[in-house]
Chain A
Amino acid sequence: MPGKTLYDKLWEQHVVHQEDDGTTLLYIDRHLVHEVTSPQAFEGLELAQRRPWRTGSVLAVSDHNVPTTEERRGGIKDAVSRLQVDTLDANCDAHGITQFKMNDPRQGIVHVIGPEQGATLPGMTVVCGDSHTSTHGAFGALAFGIGTSEVEHVLATQCLLTKKSRNMRVAIEGELPGGITGKDLVLAVIGQIGTAGGTGHTIEFVGSAVSALSMEARMTVCNMAIEAGARSGLVAVDDKTVAYLAGRPFAPRGDQWERACAAWQDLHSDVDAVFEKEVVIDAGAIEPQVTWGTSPEMVLPVSASVPDPGAESDAVKADWMRKALAYMDLPPGKPLQEIAIDKVFIGSCTNSRIEDLRAAAEIVRGRRVSSQVKLALVVPGSGLVKQQAEAEGLDQLFREAGFEWREPGCSMCLAMNADRLEPGERCASTSNRNFEGRQGHGGRTHLVSPAMAAAAAIAGHFVDVREFGGERLQ
């Protein structure tokens, strides 16, 4: 019998019951909850007169709707957003669920605070009513996004009704050149396999380039597994994983910590494990990436030009490209480095951790945001990331350069709060989706790394960060 993949192991450890057709009752260890996808789930529980099965497994936080200006100390002005946040507060209070409320220093984006608190641990199953739950797979946890009905199901039963995915391995071998980040790496992967390349699969990221990544960068990579169609991304546990988690508030302590660390040593794929799909990518060939269209797979190296739909042989795809370019208002053949931007957003569950802010700060040090740029935002992923950045003086570097330094939240990633693009505005964004209207009605999003966003803010258009001192960045 062949060996097991990491996914096989995690799956088998959580099976409670299995139907003949493979439908499985999978036990959930950690349930992360935010305000957008939970109100109807709590309402459903109440209507059926049910109680949460194990409140200790739940950690809740409001992130999508929260304002990112200091005004929020006085509450949320937008009545619709306020109702959604108040509803989460009331539901958590009613059921005794641990929650970090808006002005708690531990508040932040759900996918930043889970790992930061040690609430995400290797070997866990982690779910959240949010597709970017794949982020937590960076810790060797089986983590995936679910819908609101499933949020209710997990609250009520501690289990999910689901079927096993297939195994896919994406190997990134070699060494990433200086200035090339986890974001560039994952965008390059999506560019190669497409937004449906991982559909029906769990992707395990392996290879020397992945081993060399920090935990923050691994989170960025797993975060965007869903943009390649895979509900879950995984990275095997190693010393970096363990070192990151040691001493975190929700992590085990004492003897329990020792036992946990020993158990985590098995959280990797066996050498003879079989993957249904495999992709190998040369890390050394990856350049800084910039998206040009309305899907994360519409991405190219910064040295390239806007592609020509006329050169695409697949008619459906060519039509899709034409629509994207019309929306983005870009002509085929235009060099990406000549695309001027109106706004810059550094933040989101993809790129708002301390390492992301350090990389961006390094680029802006001693420089000024271009006068062409109307707004440049830095939105830390959590209150604790913000504190850390301020202790390092990063906020000063950003402020002196002309960036706004904000309170934590999802912010302009999806414009459910006051931060958004106006129609026609073009943004260099460190977020994860460049879909039509994602950052605001008629807004045009270009996905990049934090260093690339910072460099674009200074130049007023896209530039190769390696020509901006970024080659020193790891």
Chain B
Amino acid sequence: MKAFDQEHGIVVPIDQANVDTDAIIAKQYLKSIKRSGFGPHLFDNWRYLDPGGPDGDNAGRRINPDFVLNQPRYQGASILLARENFGCGSSREHAVWALDDYGIRAVIAPSFADIFYNNCFKSGVLPIVLSEQTVAALFVQVLAEEGYRLRVNLPQQTVTTPGGDAFAFEVGTFRKQCLLQGFDDIGLTLQHAEAIRDYERRRREQVPWLFEQ
């Protein structure tokens, strides 16, 4: 997995609550059997004025000039600022792959849906929960200042504004270490292979019917 340490980047604001994973990556792109190439379809239904096909060809599609990702001032953004319950709905990890492929390294919101939050860590995208008040203040600042950047520091667990205000955020110590080191979760878990086998031996005695199929 890709490691995450610090990120200093342009912030793009998605000013809507309850952004669902269908909006982040539309269903027709889930037909891919690959893990890459989703970036051009991030927020596809909002980004383009006409529908896109699963072949992924965006040539000839009309872009929606009103949508933030299409505005010149947000080009190259690596931090996404969002409202509450970001990433609700479907479990599709393709939503995180699309953000990652587009170049988003961190998402800041007052709250996230559980499955999306988990999926972020698996692809090296850092989800950051800040208070609703702080997020509201950041929205004001982003909209007011072209080229607005935030600095995200995972070791220190802070988000710092250009004015020097630093906001602390929480992240589980285990997840933090995995993200800092870019660990392969499966490799870590397999270090416990003997404990898994012990558990299975014990359970086979207690609940044998769960091991028949």
Contact = CB atoms under 8 A, between A and B. Distances in A.
Interface of A: 16-17, 19-23, 25, 27, 29, 36-37, 39-40, 43, 48, 50, 53-54, 56-57, 64-65, 80-81, 83-84, 87, 98, 119, 121, 123-124, 129-131, 144-150, 152-153, 156-159, 161-163, 165, 195-196, 199-200, 226-227, 229, 231, 250, 252, 256-257, 259-260, 263, 295, 316-317, 319-320, 323, 414-416, 423, 433, 435-438, 441-442
B31 A161 contact: no
Interface of B: 15-18, 20, 22-23, 26-28, 30-31, 33-35, 45, 51, 54-55, 83-85, 88-94, 96, 111, 113-115, 118-119, 122-123, 172-175, 184-186, 188-190, 192-193, 195-196, 199-200, 203, 207-213
Contacts of A130: 90-91
Nearest to A442: B51
A190 to B, nearest CB: 12
Given A153-B185, A438-B22, A145 B115 contact: yes
Given A23-B174, A441-B45, A415 B27 contact: yes
A147 B213 contact: no
Contact of B85 (A50, A195, A433): A195
A65 B33 CA distance: 13
A231 B172 contact: no
A121 B174 contact: no
Given A65-B31, A131-B89, A157 B211 contact: no
B189 A83 contact: no
Contacts of A227: 89
Given A80-B54, A131-B90, A157 B196 contact: yes
B85 A317 contact: no
A157 B88 contact: no
Given A50-B186, A149-B185, A320-B16, A25 B27 contact: no
Contacts of A36: 30-31, 92
Contacts of B174: 19-21, 23, 161
Contacts, number: 201
Contacts of B27: 414-416, 437-438
Contacts of B30: 36-37, 64, 416
B88 A153 contact: no
Which of B84, B111, B115 has the most C-beta atoms of chain A within 10 angstroms of its own C-beta?
B115
A159 B189 contact: yes
Contacts of A415: 27-28
B36 to A, nearest CB: 10
* Of B33, B92, B193, most A-chain CB atoms within 10 Å: B33
A131 B91 contact: yes
Interface centre among A40, A53, A57, A64 (most CB of B within 10 A): A40
Contacts of A436: 22-23, 45
Given A39-B33, A145-B91, A148-B93, 4 more contacts: A23-B175, A147-B122, A435-B22, A435-B23
B96 to A, nearest CB: 7
B89 A84 contact: no
